[in-house]
Amino acid sequence: MTSPRARRSPRRTEALSRERIVEAAVGLLDAAGEGGLTFRALTERLATGPGAIYWHVANKGELLGAATEAVVAAAVATGPQRTGRAGGTEGAEGAEESGGAAEAAREGIRCVALGLFDAIEEHPWLAPQLAGQLSRNPGGPVAPRIFENIGRQVRALGVPGDSWFTATSALVHYVLGAAGQNAANTASGRALGPDADRAGFLDAVSTAWEGLDAEDYPFTRAVADQVREHDDREQFLAGIDLVLAGITALHLPAGRPGGSPEA
């Protein structure tokens, strides 16, 4: 209007684009959760009006979907190179020793799963997004992306073709369920206070479970102390291994390429 030059807004020009909008949306979601994503906060952050955003994006739902897709794509892309304990299996392609390829596939599954786990923990708003409206647009690329990455490793494991869908679905469902639950936990932990970050929250849950009615909740009470001491990632991987063991037992031919000694 008045002066197209030099206004004290740090990023006045820069040209608005769908990519920049999605980027800003992810930033708002990370900073303040699902409630933090607002068209008004977005217009302020991007120094525009709502109409400009609606030119690039149909509505809030599509924006949430695009943010979800962006984060998931980044997560499964960088998954294999993570710094966590699930690295160092680059011999997967050439491995031909009995069970070597299968074990590499198992490591690959753990990698993809951990990538999603970390992404959901880093962006807790992802969990309900994936759980509640992932398939709002079934043609959308986020469901196939997860499915493809895990499914390839299932195939490499040696699972026969008619069990691919069952085995892959089970893994994906476990990953989404576990990671989602975990995100809910970390989110609540933050809400309790930034200092009592994680241990404090687990302690609160554990104490609450110990205080349950002894007659109605004997099992939950008995397990309460295991809640206090468990490690999230470790527990998550233990669950993955449980599903993998089930796949090995039910879907792998008797040759058990898993590498475990015959018993």
Q: Summarize as ranges the residues that interact with DNA (CB under 7 A).
A: 1, 15-16, 37-41, 47-52, 54-56, 59-61
Separation in Å, CA 248 to CA 29, 157, 165, 176, 255: 39, 9, 15, 21, 10
Shortest reach from residue 83's CB to a second copy, in Å: 25
CB 22 within 8 A of CB 5: no
Separation in Å, CA 202 to CA 116, 175, 195, 240: 22, 21, 13, 22
Task: Residue 92: name its binding partner from a second copy, DNA, none (Cβ under 5 to 8 Å by kind).
Answer: none
Task: Residue 165: name its binding partner from DNA, a second copy, none (Cβ under 5 to 8 Å by kind).
Answer: a second copy
Report residue 81 as tokens.
């190179």
DSSP state of 136: G
Nearer to DNA, 52 or 223 (CB): 52
Shortest reach from residue 202's CB to a second copy, in Å: 9
What residues have CB less than 8 Å from 239, skipping those under 6 apart?
174, 178
Backbone angles phi, psi at 58, to 5 degrees: -70, -45
Nearer to DNA, 27 or 99 (CB): 27
Shortest reach from residue 79's CB to a second copy, in Å: 16
Nearer to DNA, 129 or 168 (CB): 129
C-alpha span between 46 and 9 (Å, rounded): 10
Nearer to a second copy, 90 or 234 (CB): 234
Nearer to a second copy, 56 or 155 (CB): 155
Task: Residue 170: name its binding partner from DNA, a second copy, none (Cβ under 5 to 8 Å by kind).
Answer: a second copy
CB 18 within 8 A of CB 10: no
Shortest reach from residue 82's CB to a second copy, in Å: 21
C-alpha span between 208 and 189 (Å, rounded): 14
Task: Residue 40: name its binding partner from DNA, a second copy, none (Cβ under 5 to 8 Å by kind).
Answer: DNA
Nearer to a second copy, 23 or 164 (CB): 164
Report residue 73 as tokens.
């794509």
Task: Residue 59: name its binding partner from a second copy, DNA, none (Cβ under 5 to 8 Å by kind).
Answer: DNA
